[in-house]
Chains A and B, each alone.
Chain A
Amino acid sequence: MKQFDAEILENRELAEDYYQMFLSWPEDVRVPFPGQVVSLNVDRGITPYLRRPFALASFQRESRIASIIYHVRGPATERMALKKPGDVIDTLGPRGFYFQLGLERNPLMVGGGIGTGPMVFAANWLAAKGFTPRLVLGYRSESLVPKLDLSPLVRQTVCTDDGTFGFHGTTVDFLNSLTSEDRVDAFVWACGPNAMLKAVHFWAQPLGIPCKVSLEEVMACGVGACVGCTVATTDERKMVRVCTEGPVFSSEVIAWT
């Protein structure tokens, strides 16, 4: 992990209030993997004050360009949306445990809203390894559905709550529609709102499908010092820091409330 000034190469609007920001990635900063995060200090200002963590959405090794997908929903992301190519941004990363492959060979990537970025990274990364991942993305409505750069090997399904685009229903409704054949040798990686992650966990668990989730919590330091981004685990004597023990966890470790 390093602190560096990343140059913004492009800040592309993908959908209503969804942007993808492409950042230069210096040679001396480690290659990031799907699930890992960067934290950005947007303007080094007084308000917003804290850094903001974002899971990476892509990384191109040759050009050393990384990206994040973010949703404009507060003072930090509002400022980010105004950034232009050539601007620099105080970046800290890459940080955290990434998604790691087990023995299963049938990837089911599930992303909702702000969880789109890391699942796109994961799906493209798996495709580059020869998998044909299924990428299930959920949004409230068509206007929020982003236009994404996906490998031809990625089988994308977009779900909308109101049925204005793609599958009518939530990502978990879609998972429920999968046949037992679709689920053979499956594993799930997921990122999105906690309610979605909880539903994905409770879908996967009885089917015996290994499920890893990437959590989002408010962070202050992002390096493990403040112990602020903790979540409860099934072991009630133990809380885990999303920034340090995570952000990717096996879903059965988390105390879903």
Chain B
Amino acid sequence: MDLSLSLRKLILSNPVGVASGTFGYAKEYENLVDFSRIGAVYTKAITPEPRIGNPSPRLVETPAGMLNSIGLANVGVQAFLTDKLPFLRKIPSSVIVNVAGAVDSDYEQVVEILDSVDGVDGFEINVSCPNVKHGGLALGTDPKLVAAITRSLRARTSKPLILKLSPNVTDIGSMAEAAEAEGADAVSCINTLIGMVIDLKTKKPVLPFGTGGLSGPAILPVAVAAVYKVSRRVKIPVIGIGGITRWQDAVQHLLAGASAVQVGCGTFANPKLAQEVYDGLLAWAWEEGIQSIADFHALDS
């Protein structure tokens, strides 16, 4: 059995990764997880300068999930290189740096700085963060802008380039097509959905900017549908994210057309979730006589 996914020179031999924003810079989970059973770590979104992030409260639990409004808080690319990357280099998981910014040049700067750096195995471009005023989601809701940023970043790196797509659009397939046309190696979907919780005592939204990003088991069917739609519009691999709380959820993503998956906020509830999903997935594939990721896709047709 070989469930690997090749993206340029990178071979993800284990299709289960941990999603950006849910795993910090990996060191936070040292001693709690078995990195040899985690295919890829998608880092906290990196911007050129450090970002303090949004005011608190930044979190609120929701039925079968949670809303977050972190605001891309991160250490910035220089501190990432000096303080965070040395640990990431030591773990057996592949390291995909999630890149974010307010303007195109922010993304370009981070990719340029990290393109020649050992230990960075690829980039995931966050054009879908719902919690920042500029860049982020605005960029990811217009196929022309997705095409432009993909073209610009493709010219700057030979490493695998993954565009992370937002579900907060009318036609997610058109975003994926734009990314594919300009040379993206894969797309990942979905980022969080826009949500709001209102406090009956204050009669105001709990989160300081009103809305936040919804994740958790509540969004699993939304994510599976997005993967299904996107995988029928593009030939490049789709990485499924959203609502994975058990290995069976990851199987749904793969059957829908994903070639790999990311476990997101499920890690918060159970730090060992990604490796348990991997174990369950392998066992199921074995029982079903599945030999490759393509076999998952064939089961559906």
Listed in ascending order, the chain A residues whose CB lies under 8 Å from chain B are: 1-3, 41, 44, 46-51, 90, 92, 217-232, 237-239
With A46-B245, A47-B63, A226-B68: A41-B28 Cβ-Cβ less than 8 Å = no
Q: Is the CB of B269 within 8 A of A50?
A: yes
With A3-B272, A41-B269, A90-B270: A218-B68 Cβ-Cβ less than 8 Å = no
Confirm or deny: B298 has a beta carbon within 8 angstroms of a beta carbon on chain A. no
The interface residues of chain A lying within 8 Å CB-to-CB of B57 are 217-218
The interface residues of chain A lying within 8 Å CB-to-CB of B268 are 50-51, 220-222, 226
Q: Is the CB of B73 within 8 A of A227?
A: yes
Q: Is the CB of A221 within 8 A of B28?
A: yes
With A230-B73, A237-B52, A239-B52: A225-B23 Cβ-Cβ less than 8 Å = yes
The interface residues of chain A lying within 8 Å CB-to-CB of B29 are 223, 225
Q: Is the CB of B267 within 8 A of A221?
A: yes
Q: Is the CB of B58 within 8 A of A1?
A: no
Closest Cβ of chain B to A224, distance in Å, is 5
Contact partner of B265 (CB less than 8 A), chosen from A44, A220, A231, A238, is A220
Q: Is the CB of A49 within 8 A of B269?
A: yes
Confirm or deny: B11 has a beta carbon within 8 angstroms of a beta carbon on chain A. no
The interface residues of chain B lying within 8 Å CB-to-CB of A228 are 58-59, 68, 70
A221: nearest residue on chain B (CB-CB)? B268
Interface positions, chain B 49-85, Cβ under 8 Å from A, are 52-53, 55-61, 63-66, 68, 70, 73
CA distance A225 to B266 in the complex (A): 13
A231: nearest residue on chain B (CB-CB)? B56
Q: Is the CB of B271 within 8 A of A3?
A: yes
CA distance A218 to B199 in the complex (A): 15
Closest Cβ of chain B to A91, distance in Å, is 12
B63: nearest residue on chain A (CB-CB)? A47
Confirm or deny: B195 has a beta carbon within 8 angstroms of a beta carbon on chain A. no
Listed in ascending order, the chain B residues whose CB lies under 8 Å from chain A are: 21-24, 28-29, 31-32, 44, 52-53, 55-61, 63-66, 68, 70, 73, 216-217, 245, 265, 267-272
Closest Cβ of chain A to B34, distance in Å, is 12
With A237-B52, A239-B52: A226-B271 Cβ-Cβ less than 8 Å = no
Interface centre among A46, A224, A229, A237 (most CB of B within 10 A): A46
Q: Is the CB of B61 within 8 A of A225?
A: no
Q: Is the CB of A223 within 8 A of B217?
A: no
A227: nearest residue on chain B (CB-CB)? B73
The interface residues of chain B lying within 8 Å CB-to-CB of A238 are 52
The interface residues of chain A lying within 8 Å CB-to-CB of B65 are 49
Closest 10 CB pairs of A and B: A225-B24, A225-B28, A228-B59, A220-B268, A221-B268, A224-B28, A227-B73, A46-B64, A228-B58, A218-B59
CA distance A227 to B74 in the complex (A): 9
Q: Is the CB of A223 within 8 A of B53?
A: no
Contact partner of A41 (CB less than 8 A), chosen from B24, B53, B270, is B270
Contact partner of B70 (CB less than 8 A), chosen from A90, A227, A237, is A227
Q: Is the CB of B22 within 8 A of A221?
A: yes
Contact partner of B24 (CB less than 8 A), chosen from A2, A51, A92, A226, is A226
The interface residues of chain B lying within 8 Å CB-to-CB of A225 are 22-24, 28-29, 44, 267
The interface residues of chain B lying within 8 Å CB-to-CB of A50 are 61, 66, 268-269
Q: Is the CB of B55 within 8 A of A232?
A: yes
A-B contact pairs, 29 of them (CB 8 A): A2-B31, A2-B32, A3-B272, A49-B61, A49-B65, A49-B66, A49-B217, A50-B61, A51-B269, A90-B270, A92-B32, A220-B59, A220-B265, A221-B22, A221-B268, A223-B24, A223-B32, A226-B268, A227-B44, A227-B70, A229-B58, A230-B53, A230-B73, A232-B56, A237-B52, A238-B52, A239-B52, A239-B53, A239-B73
With A50-B66, A225-B24, A227-B73: A44-B269 Cβ-Cβ less than 8 Å = yes
Q: Is the CB of A223 within 8 A of B61?
A: no
Closest Cβ of chain B to A223, distance in Å, is 5
The interface residues of chain A lying within 8 Å CB-to-CB of B245 are 46
CA distance A48 to B73 in the complex (A): 26
The interface residues of chain A lying within 8 Å CB-to-CB of B68 are 220, 226, 228
Closest Cβ of chain B to A235, distance in Å, is 10
The interface residues of chain B lying within 8 Å CB-to-CB of A222 are 268
B68: nearest residue on chain A (CB-CB)? A228
The interface residues of chain A lying within 8 Å CB-to-CB of B44 are 225, 227
Q: Is the CB of A230 within 8 A of B56?
A: yes
The interface residues of chain A lying within 8 Å CB-to-CB of B64 are 46-47, 49
Contact partner of A1 (CB less than 8 A), chosen from B23, B32, B70, B217, is B32
